[in-house]
């Protein structure tokens, strides 16, 4: 990619547990162009949040980086010192967490929290900070009178909006979002997604958006990455992936959602449960649950293949002739 703002290479994260090392993110590669919206979907425990934390350099023990690089605007964030990272955070990379109630300080007003951020990164005057804070709140359709509110005085949707407003303080180039809408009702969720998309169009930041709900991002993301058991299993254009999913897991996820339109179909979901990452299956990690499993799947770990412009990790496409191995493992 020519204009990549973020390049993640061979990123691996391991948790140190009593049972030994558990690799939660296994050699993930991804690139993000300026202004692009990339959604990462998967079930709980698939490593999607861990991947985000690793990219934002926010891992804390027992999780630790096992290898790989995260190049953001030409600099490898893995090698940056704490103070260099601090300078980067908020101003160039913002992170919006899943639970705003836990991410906001409950004993400080919204204004005071914005003040903290601004003081740490700029030499703006109090009045300037105040007016900038009002400005960003208006961006997310919150009346600036709420600047002096405490988090508990705001509704769930407003808290989440306030978090996004804070992330916008310095118009960063990359916004990392970990399920920002999962605690919200459908109506609030929809309007928050619209707001995020609108902000993105206005300011042109790139977005990494983690969710477990594939249908949520179907109309919002440019590309979609599906993770399973710590590995990238499919990555492609969002519409393409929805219309022609390649990996059996992606197909299963898509078929696990009942729809409010169209004919009523009997759905099966995906039988079984994700593997224990302390003891991953020998071959393909999805093989025990896969409806189109073949004999080699249980012994040969599939590599990431390029098929029609998408990446997929499945042996089905190995001999199809139209694929080429992206990386040998």
Partner 1 sequence: MTDHEPLLRTVSLTRHFRLGGYFSRQILHAVDDVSLTIGEREIVALVGESGSGKSTMARLLAMVYKPTSGDIVFEGRSLRALRSRRDQLAYRGKVPMVFQDPYSSINPAFRISHGIQRGIKLHRPEMSSRERQLEAERVLEAVGLVPARSMLSKYPFEMSGGQRQRVGFAQALAYRPKLVLADEPVSMLDVSIRIGVLNLMNELREREGVSFLYITHDIASARYIADRVLVMYAGHLVEEGPTEDVLQRPKHPYTQLLLSAVPDPKAPLSVGSSTDVGEPPKVVNPKEGCRFQPRCPYAIAECASVTPALRPLGPVHLAACHVARPDGAEAPAGALAGRDGAPNGNVPA
Residue 43 binds partner 1 (CB under 8 A)? yes
Residue 216 binds partner 1 (CB under 8 A)? yes
Residue 55 binds partner 1 (CB under 8 A)? no
Applying CB under 8 A, among 254, 293, 294, 301 the residue interacting with partner 1 is 254
Residue 261 binds partner 1 (CB under 8 A)? yes
Residue 132 binds partner 1 (CB under 8 A)? no
Distance CA 235, CA 291 (A): 20
Applying CB under 8 A, among 86, 119, 219, 279 the residue interacting with partner 1 is 219
What burial class does residue 73 get, using C-beta atoms within 10 Å of its C-beta: 0-12 exposed, 13-18 middle, 19+ buried?
middle
Residue 327 beta carbon to partner 1: minimum distance, rounded to whole angstroms:
27
* 65 CB-near residues (< 8 Å, 6+ apart): 11, 12, 13, 54, 59, 78
Residue 220 beta carbon to partner 1: minimum distance, rounded to whole angstroms:
7
Smaller CB separation from partner 1, 15 or 37: 37
Please give the residues from 167 up to 186 whose contact with partner 1 meets the rule CB under 8 A: 185-186
Residue 258 beta carbon to partner 1: minimum distance, rounded to whole angstroms:
4
Strand partners, 237: 223
Strand partners, 62: none
Residue 188 beta carbon to partner 1: minimum distance, rounded to whole angstroms:
6
Q: What's the helix, strand, coil split of the chain in %, to 5? A: 35, 25, 40
CA-nearest of 40, 47, 27, 36 to 5 is: 36
Size of the site for partner 1 (CB under 8 A): 45
Residue 33 binds partner 1 (CB under 8 A)? no
Applying CB under 8 A, among 1, 273, 282, 322 the residue interacting with partner 1 is 273
CA-nearest of 2, 27, 32, 3 to 13 is: 27
Torsion angle of the four alpha carbons 181, 184, 190, 192, in this order, in degrees rounded to the nearest 10: -60
Both tokens of 229, joined, read 């058991």
User: Which residue ranges make up the site for partner 1 (CB under 8 A)?
Assistant: 43-44, 141, 155-157, 185-191, 194, 197-198, 201, 212-216, 218-220, 239, 242, 252-254, 256-262, 264, 266-271, 273
């Amino acid at each position: 990619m020519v204009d990549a703002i973020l390049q993640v290479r061979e990123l691996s994260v391991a948790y140190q547990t009593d049972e030994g090392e558990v690799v939660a993110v296994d050699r993930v590669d991804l690139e993000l162009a300026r202004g692009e919206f990339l959604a990462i979907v998967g079930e709980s425990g698939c490593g999607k949040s861990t991947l985000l934390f690793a990219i934002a350099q926010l891992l804390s023990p027992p999780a630790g980086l096992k290898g790989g690089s995260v190049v953001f605007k030409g600099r490898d964030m893995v090698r940056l010192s704490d103070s260099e990272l601090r300078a980067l955070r908020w101003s160039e990379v913002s992170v919006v967490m899943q639970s705003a109630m836990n991410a906001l300080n409950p004993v400080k007003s919204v204004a005071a929290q914005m003040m903290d951020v601004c003081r740490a990164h700029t030499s703006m005057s109090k009045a300037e900070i105040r007016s900038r804070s009002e400005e960003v709140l208006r961006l997310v359709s919150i009346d600036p009178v709420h600047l002096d509110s405490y988090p508990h005085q705001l509704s769930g949707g407003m808290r989440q909006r306030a978090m996004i407003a804070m992330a916008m303080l310095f118009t960063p180039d990359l916004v990392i979002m970990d399920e920002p809408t999962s605690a919200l009702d459908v109506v609030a969720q929809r309007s928050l997604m619209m707001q995020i998309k609108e902000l993105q169009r206005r300011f042109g930041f790139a977005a990494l958006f983690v969710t477990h709900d594939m249908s949520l991002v179907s109309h919002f993301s440019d590309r979609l990455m599906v993770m399973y058991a710590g590995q990238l299993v499919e990555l492609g254009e969002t519409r393409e992936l929805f219309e022609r999913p390649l990996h059996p897991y992606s197909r299963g996820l898509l078929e696990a959602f009942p729809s409010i339109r169209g004919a009523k179909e009997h759905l099966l979901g995906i039988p079984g449960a994700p593997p224990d990452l302390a003891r991953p299956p020998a071959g393909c990690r999805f093989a025990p649950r896969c409806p189109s499993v073949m004999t080699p799947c249980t012994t040969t770990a599939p590599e990431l293949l390029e098929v029609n412009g998408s990446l997929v990790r499945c042996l089905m496409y190995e001999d199809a002739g139209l694929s080429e191995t992206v990386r040998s493992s």
